[in-house]
Amino acid sequence: MSLRIVVADDEALIRQDLSELLTGLGHRVVASARDGAEALEQIELHNPDLVILDIKMPRMDGLEVAQHIGGRHPIIMLTAHSSPDFIHSARDAGVMAYITKPFREADIAPTIEMAITHFLRGAQLDERVSELREQLEARRLTDRAKALLVEKRGIAEKDAHRELQRLSMKYNLSLKALAQKLIDALT
């Protein structure tokens, strides 16, 4: 899989070496930046598949950039700083992987694979959480609408549920949408 990558490092030689290595691995470096503010501009402009950031950069450091783009792009932090504080800060900023300088060519491909995999899993989990929230909201509204039908019409709960299903099909509405309409009408 060929990825579109933005590389940001304040050292021109690192940017060049990393860009050549990534190109050799079949990826495309769509932009390189010498500081964090430029990196943020390039990320917004190119919407890359992956971002590789140095932590210590002028104008805006890699952690600040990561916090700005967190969750929208997988991020690999490339840095000479490997203290636990930097690692924890990077993790908290949404960084998926961490490579220390000087990096070895053999470390890059597996790190990219791990960063992309972790990012995609996180995105799938976020999507699943959204689906569950939607289901919970639909259930809450449906239960409220059933309770109102039971109260207003004096029918059993199972009959109220059947009535909601019947009306949902009749008016071609989801149970959630129908429940909301009934709640609005009956309260």
Separation between Cα atoms, residue 125 and residue 130, nearest integer Å:
9
Q: Taking the mean position of all CA atoms in its chain, how far away is CA 180?
A: 30
Q: Taking the mean position of all CA atoms in its chain, how far away is CA 187?
A: 38
Q: What is the DSSP letter of 47?
A: -
Which is it for the CA torsion 91, 93, 99, 105, positive or negative? positive
Tell me whether residue 149 is in a domain. Answer: yes
Q: Which residue has the tokens 């050549």?
A: 20
Domain of residue 97: give its range: 4-103
Q: 39-72, pLDDT tens digit by residue?
A: 999 999 999 999 999 988 888 888 899 988 877 8
Question: Helices in the chain by DSSP H: which ranges?
Answer: 12-24, 36-46, 62-69, 84-92, 105-153, 157-170, 175-186
Tell me whether residue 109 is in a domain. Answer: no
Return the structure tokens found at 63: 């952690």
Q: Same domain for 19 and 93?
A: yes
Tell me whether residue 166 is in a domain. Answer: yes
Kindly indicate the confidence band of residue 177, based on its pLDDT and cuts at 50, 70 and 90.
very high
Q: Same domain for 145 and 83?
A: no
Within 13 Å and on the Cβ side, how many CA atoms surround 87?
7
Separation between Cα atoms, residue 149 and residue 140, nearest integer Å:
14
What type of residue sits at position 107?
D
Q: Same domain for 169 and 86?
A: no
Overall number of domains in the chain: 2
Q: Same domain for 85 and 147?
A: no
Find the CATH number of the domain harbouring 88: 3.40.50.2300
Tell me whether residue 42 is in a domain. Answer: yes
Mean pLDDT calculated for residue range 108-115: 89
**pTM (predicted TM-score):** 0.69
